[in-house]
Amino acid sequence: MSKIPFLLAGLGLASTGLFAQNTDAVKRLQNTLQEWVSVEKTLSEEVNSWVIEQQLINDSLNVLRTQQATFEERKAVAEETSSRADSDRRALAEERDSLAAVSTLMEERVRSFEAEMRALVPLLPEPLAQEVSPVFRRIPSNPDDTTLGLAVRTQNLVAILSQIDRFNTTVTRVSEVRELDGGPREVTTLYFGLGAAYFVDQTGDYAGYGRPGANGWVWTTDRSLANSLRTLVAVYDGTREAQFVALPHAID
């Protein structure tokens, strides 16, 4: 065997060993490349996932900021409303206390006026007393035991006072029966407000005048006034021309 073929055979063996070594290196390189690609892919996926999650987090933060701003605005409105409500409650409480004080004062005054009215009505002339009697009966005899409110009780007093004032500012002609000389007589009476009254019968036999007293009206018979009073009634009725008629009147 020559040296050259042996050398070639040796080279062939060497080449085979080198190739085998290179093949292992290539495989390791391929494995490394595959692992690197896998890592890069994983990193890319993680980055993409993080970008998406970051966007979601930013969106959530924006929503939360908007909700916080809305909450702060509503909180401010609620605090303002609460403060205004507290102020309104205080104002209402003060108004209630004021109204309660006024109501108490009104109650005292209405009670006082009702007592005065109960004492006054019996002193009124009979025609006026009869006129106000329907309203007068609505005045409670016991203010502590009544279901009437202050408004109704005040209206009753105003109604009576209005009727009294109207009567007091006019001349009122009435036909009434009066006890004269032990018997009833129908007479015509002219009331000059609440200050004085004059009466005369149809025959002119009885005449006189009346005036308010401490316990009611006091009547005095005076036949000498008959002619003058008949003239006065005729003037009032319009059957005679107007003229001056002299009549007695006492002023205390």
Which has more confidence, 139 or 16? 139
pTM: 0.60
> Which H or E run includes 124?
none
Examine residue 246 and state whether it is found in any structural domain, yes or no: no
Examine residue 149 and state whether it is found in any structural domain, yes or no: yes
Total number of domains constituting the chain: 2
Pair (187, 143) in one structural domain: no
Give the Cα separation of 190 and 237 in Å (integer). Answer: 11
> Which H or E run includes 192?
strand 183-192
Pair (135, 194) in one structural domain: no
Structural domain boundaries, residue 138: 116-166
pLDDT tier, 8 (very low <50, low <70, confident <90, very high otherwise): very low
Q: pLDDT tens across 189-244, in order?
A: 999 999 999 999 988 889 999 999 888 999 999 999 999 999 999 999 999 998 99
Contacts of 209 (CB under 8 A, 6+ apart): 196, 197, 198, 199, 219, 220, 222, 225, 247, 248, 249
Examine residue 232 and state whether it is found in any structural domain, yes or no: yes
Pair (205, 174) in one structural domain: yes
pLDDT at 104: 85
Residue where a domain terminates, one of 166, 182, 198? 166
Kindly tell me if the per-residue pLDDT of 34 is higher than 50: yes
pLDDT at 6: 47
Examine residue 155 and state whether it is found in any structural domain, yes or no: yes
Give the Cα separation of 111 and 135 in Å (integer). Answer: 16
Examine residue 20 and state whether it is found in any structural domain, yes or no: no
Name the least confident of 83-97, 179-193, 209-223. 83-97
pLDDT at 7: 47
Examine residue 180 and state whether it is found in any structural domain, yes or no: yes
pLDDT at 13: 47
Cα 179 from chain centroid (whole Å): 57
Which has more confidence, 34 or 11? 34
Kindly tell me if the per-residue pLDDT of 167 is higher than 70: yes
Examine residue 141 and state whether it is found in any structural domain, yes or no: yes
